Structure 1
Amino acid sequence: MPEPGSYDQAALVTCTEHPDELRVTGIPVRCPACGAGRDWLLVHHRGHTFIRCRCAHQWHEPNLGAADFETLAAGPPDRYWPTYTEALVSLGFDGLLAGTYV
């Protein structure tokens, strides 16, 4: 596996877990697929932020920009995976834990 600094920054997908309720423009986020109201994975890729639920439903959130993502992130990345799919499985956002809150 390559060193974290050697990844192509343009292709890098950054993820951060957000276990609490998330409010975008003051409105609580709910998963449109299962209705969950907390325990999110925020995904930032090529200037766009996506919200992913434990049920594996993911959607683009145009009201969350790069600055919002950085604010919500718990700090610098501390874990790396070779692929986005491996990250989703490792973090439990691949749908296997749908309906559970961690």
Structure 2
Amino acid sequence: MLNRIRRRRRTRTDDLQRMHEQFWPELFDRVPEDVLRIQAERQAAAQPAAVVDDFLPPELRVPSHDQVAGRMMPWSQPIVLDGDVVACDECGAYRDWVIISTNDQVWLRCRAGHQQHERRLTTAWFNRNSGPADATHATFEDCLRHLGH
């Protein structure tokens, strides 16, 4: 009994395979009439697109990362890391910092001009806490002047 069922299934599968092989080449190159009509309508209605300069004007372009030596932001409140308030190693100042991110390092600069590398801060931290750049400057001193230091 089971052998007959298996033979019947095999015969049906073979018949379906044969029908597929017979009709597939015919169906492969066929395109529905609606598709041809819609394509013809689109080609007839298509107008050439106007050529527009899609680049921003130079004064609105943001420099790429390889064109910028680093980024800075002011930080007026104290910086607390691991429960400790970060203070300047030389003068003891603990607020009114300029935070500098350059070469995957974060540096702190106090109002007196002392700089120290802060290993507990990362570039990812800087990116999360900094706002959008409001200006670019040619020199480090120009940027400090812009930030009020």
Normalising by structure 1, report the TM-score: 0.76
Cα RMSD of the aligned pairs, angstroms, is: 2.2
Within the alignment, does 1:24 sit opposite 2:81 as a pair?
Answer: yes
Question: Are positions 1:71 and 2:128 aligned together?
Answer: yes
SS class of match (1:78): coil
Q: Name the SS of the counterpart of 1:21 in structure 2.
A: coil
The number of residue pairs the alignment matches comes to 92
Q: Which has the higher helix share?
A: 2
CA distance in 2, matches of 1:25, 1:70: 19
Going by fraction, where is strand more abundant, 1 or 2?
1
Unmatched 5+ residue regions in structure 2?
1-58
Aligned partner of 2:100 in structure 1 is: 43
Q: Which runs of 4+ in 1 moved over 4 A?
A: none
Question: Normalized against structure 2, the TM-score is what?
Answer: 0.54
Q: 1:58 aligns with which of 90, 110, 115?
A: 115
Larger Rg: 2
Gaps of 5+ in 1: 94-102
Report the Cα distance in structure 2 between the residues aligned to 1:37 and 1:30, rounded to whole angstroms.
4
Give the share of equivalent positions with the same residue, in percent.
Answer: 29
**Match in the other structure for 2:144:** 88
Q: CA deviation at 1:36?
A: 1.1
Contact 2:89 2:116 (8 Å CA) reproduced: no
